[in-house]
Amino acid sequence: MRLIAELAASPQWRAPLAVSLGAVPGALARYYLSLLCGQWFGIGFPMGTLLANLSGAFLMGFFVTFTLDRLVIAPDLRLLIAVGFLGSYTTFSTYALDASNLLRSGQSGLALLYGLGSAGLGLLCLESGRLVARWL
């Protein structure tokens, strides 16, 4: 416990510690949501992943807007929730936030390229990884 307190007091360790402390509950929340959805809806469609992605995107939009516009919170707490918890719960929420930030900054072409490129190239990379694994 003393080591954690010392790390939390160190500026160079505060951010990674905050992200780590949020990541474990976020990953567990996604895992248990998927299990629950599998029991409720079956496993023929990835309902748990869909719900995690959609709820995570909603929560990311709400949290970032609320904490930037209306509520001042510590940067470490923002990292714990947005990057750690929500980033681990679903990376889709971060993907959606990045695309939204590009749109809001007037870079609609880059937002479109990022959005379609992430989805398309992500699928291509996943399938490439599968092919390489089978080849080995």
Q: Residue 4 has what pLDDT? A: 66
Task: List Cα–Cα distances, 10 to 4, 15, 58, 130, in angstroms.
Answer: 10, 10, 33, 41
Q: Residue 50 has what pLDDT? A: 85
Q: Residue 64 has what pLDDT? A: 86
Check residue 72 and give left, alpha or beta (phi > 0: left; psi -120 to 50: alpha).
Answer: beta
Domain segments of the chain as ranges: 2-105
Looking up tokens 């869909």 gives 50
**pLDDT by residue for the chain (136 residues), tens digit each?**
676 666 667 778 889 999 999 999 999 999 999 999 999 999 888 888 888 988 888 898 898 888 877 778 888 999 999 999 998 998 787 788 888 989 999 999 999 999 898 888 888 887 988 888 778 7
User: Considering the entire predicted model, what is its pTM?
Assistant: 0.73
Residue 90 annotated as binding? yes
CA R_g for the chain = 18
